[in-house]
A and B are shown apart, each in its own frame.
Chain A
Amino acid sequence: MRVITPIAKPKEGSAGLTGKWRIFKPVINYSKCNNCGLCWLYCPEAAITLDGKNVPKIVYEYCKGCGICANECPVRAIDLIKEE
């Protein structure tokens, strides 16, 4: 007898490309960014990654556009731009 157990497997985008939900797109102005790391720390979606030099990069496939990063940025280096 074969027992089938309903086990879900981890996957990025379990709800699809959630970037499509976005109304406002956060864009990092790298000339202002001081690499403090707060946008990365406070992103609820883990949609901001840090590269080897700890520079933040937004993953637009999944960023839902909540705008917490822009709200928490101490040097206002993140602009929210309305999606087309």
Chain B
Amino acid sequence: MGMKGILRVVPKEEYLLPGNPSCPGCPASLGLRYLLKALGGKAILVIPASCTSIIVGPYPFSSLRVPVLNIAFAAAASTAAGISEALKVKGKEGIQVVVWAGDGGTADIGLQALSGAAERNSDILYVCYDNEAYMNTGIQRSSLTPYGAWTTTTPKGKVEEKKNLPMIVAEHKVPYVATASVGYPIDLILKVRKAIKYRGFKYIHLHAPCPYGWRFPANKTVEVAKLAVKTGIWVLYEIENGKFRLTSLSSSLIDPSKRLPVNKYLKLQGRFKHLSEEDISRIQERVNTMWDELMRLVKES
């Protein structure tokens, strides 16, 4: 799209400051950088225990140019809902309260607070950056770790499937739910801007490939993120007031022949290197079935 096209969507202003403690090639850094650009820095971040608790910086310094509240694992969504109510009482407009939580803080430990805030339709934006395991504590599996993936607690590969969290949140009938990927920043930024136009509960599920935890070189973060979308393993979509729509590259992948074979994505990552041919064809089959279901959603909307 070229420099002009990029700058039309992505502001030059930076809110994530360089020299922070994130690992080289960190997807959380990428996601935070895009999120805060999209919000123009007009946000209060609530961050439960996660890698980002480290990235925001060692006291007395912060690496973010927005207020951040570090909070206990289970409490992110309820805390954000409280801050949002407080801002309303104080008559402060135009400041978005945002939860920025990992997959563990969202799908496992934070799920009840998330579900509660969604059901009450609290006026917050919840962003889950999904690196598919507990990376900060040493790569333990979460309910968002995909089938077959190695982690330190699934040494032979996970035997269960990945929880379909965005659809679970969508079933709360909230105004806006979307998926995104750090490999597609323009799509992510447009979704954030669209989300904050709604009053009520907004949810964005951000796919975030982690070089350290997924065992691929740090220079491949964006490449792996893009391959997840190109193979159809990760799907970019949004659900606005119940209306489902595929976005960005995913909207051109309904025809199965347009999708790359899943192995192109899997073989780049050390966490999948033990997979047998049988495992790989099982993953491929799951992806095909998932797309059949997505087709149905596209037709219904």
B19 pairs with A13, CB closer than 8 A = yes
B62 pairs with A36, CB closer than 8 A = no
B22–chain A nearest beta-carbon distance, Å? 7
Residues of A within 8 A of B219 (CB): 66-68, 70-71
Residues of B within 8 A of A66 (CB): 24-26, 211, 218-219, 221
B3 pairs with A35, CB closer than 8 A = yes
A10 contact from B6, B17, B33, B185, Cβ within 8 A: B17
B2 pairs with A12, CB closer than 8 A = no
- In the complex, what distance in Å separates the CA atom of A65 from the CA atom of B211? 14
A18 pairs with B3, CB closer than 8 A = no
B63 pairs with A14, CB closer than 8 A = yes
Summed over the interface, the residue pairs from A and B with CB atoms below 8 Å come to a total of 121
A14 pairs with B220, CB closer than 8 A = no
Residues of B within 8 A of A67 (CB): 24-25, 217-219
Interface membership of A42, Cβ < 8 A = yes
Instruction: Return the chain A residue nearest B19 by Cβ.
Output: A13
Residues of B within 8 A of A11 (CB): 17, 57, 61-63
A31–chain B nearest beta-carbon distance, Å? 18
Dominant SS among interface residues on chain A: loop
Interface set, chain B 4-40, CB cutoff 8 A to A: 6-7, 10, 12, 14, 16-27, 29-30, 33
Given A6-B59, A9-B61, A44-B27, are A15 and B21 neighbors across the interface (CB < 8 Å)?
A: yes
Interface membership of B169, Cβ < 8 A = no
B250–chain A nearest beta-carbon distance, Å? 20
B18 pairs with A12, CB closer than 8 A = yes
Given A21-B24, A54-B3, A59-B18, are A68 and B222 neighbors across the interface (CB < 8 Å)?
A: yes
Taking beta carbons and an 8 Å cutoff, which residues of B are in contact with A?
A: 2-3, 6-7, 10, 12, 14, 16-27, 29-30, 33, 56-65, 185, 211, 217-223
Taking beta carbons and an 8 Å cutoff, which residues of A are in contact with B?
A: 6, 8-18, 21, 35-38, 41-42, 44-47, 50, 54, 59, 61-68, 70-72
